[in-house]
Amino acid sequence: MSKIPRKIKKFNDKDRDSLYQIIESRRDVRDEFLPKPIPEGVLRRILEAAHKAPSVGLMQPWNFILIRQEKEKQAIKQLFDKANKEACLKFEGEKRELYSNLKLEGILKAPLNICITCDRNRRGDVVLGRTHQKNMDLYSTVCAVQNLWLAARAENIGVGWVSIFHEEEMKNALNIPPTIDIIAYLCLGYVDKLYEKPELEIKGWAKRFDLDELIFEGSWNTRHD
């Protein structure tokens, strides 16, 4: 292993197109999970991809809790159901009606759930790159989530990110210590069908923004053209 930078592998158009197709066709999956189990070797590749995420000061603050047992998933599903009722009440009229008809999780249907956490003390108090941006360790963990999500899609496995629960209740259910933050609760399973656009857009919840409106040149709110 060289101690100086080495000539890199140059990716070609085919590599690049594979990545762009994976990114383009990645969806947040709630209902399309197939019961087929995920082989251990495939799961290992997906977790390796997550573990290769960038992390501030090489902190690698993540852990992966694998949840496969029906009983465990049932307990989590109850936490979701309770929180989802609360969330639904935040909307009014037609929006509440629409919300209550959305399926927002696949906890029981997905053969595997993964809770990804962040240990904010993993490398001690002082971490290179986190002195001024305290959230960098949380963000590193999210990079691992996104690596995992894309790796799963490349394995023809769908992922759904569930964020509707009380963190303290989830910590109790999974025996997670108070000093550890939950970043993501993910549902994973093979898929053979997916929506072609984000499900929330298909179902009339919201529309995607035009990228052009979101790009500035040189400083905030300054357009190129």
Residue 113 CA, distance from chain mean position: 12
CB 65 within 8 A of CB 113: no
How far, in Å, CA of 4 to CA of 140, rounded? 25
Q: Cα–Cα distances in Å, from 134 out to 56, 61, 137, 171, 179?
A: 10, 13, 7, 22, 15
User: Which of 77, 129, 178, 188 contacts its own copies by CB under 8 A?
Assistant: 129
User: Which of 153, 187, 188, 189 contacts its own copies by CB under 8 A?
Assistant: 153
How far, in Å, CA of 113 to CA of 76, rounded? 10
Q: Which two tokens stand for residue 27?
A: 């969806």
93 binds its own copies (CB under 8 A): no
User: Which of 36, 52, 81, 100 contacts its own copies by CB under 8 A?
Assistant: 52
Q: Within positions 104 to 123, which residues make up the interface with its own copies, using CB under 8 A?
A: 104, 117, 123
Q: Which of 61, 26, 20, 53 is nearest to 188 (CA)?
A: 26
Q: Within positions 158 to 187, which residues make up the interface with its own copies, using CB under 8 A?
A: 161, 163-167, 174-177, 180, 183-184
Minimum CB separation of residue 109 from its own copies in Å reads 13
Minimum CB separation of residue 160 from its own copies in Å reads 10
Question: Given the complex with its own copies, which of 108 and 198 has the nearer CB atom?
Answer: 198
Q: Which residue has the tokens 């759904």?
A: 160
149 binds its own copies (CB under 8 A): yes
Minimum CB separation of residue 36 from its own copies in Å reads 14
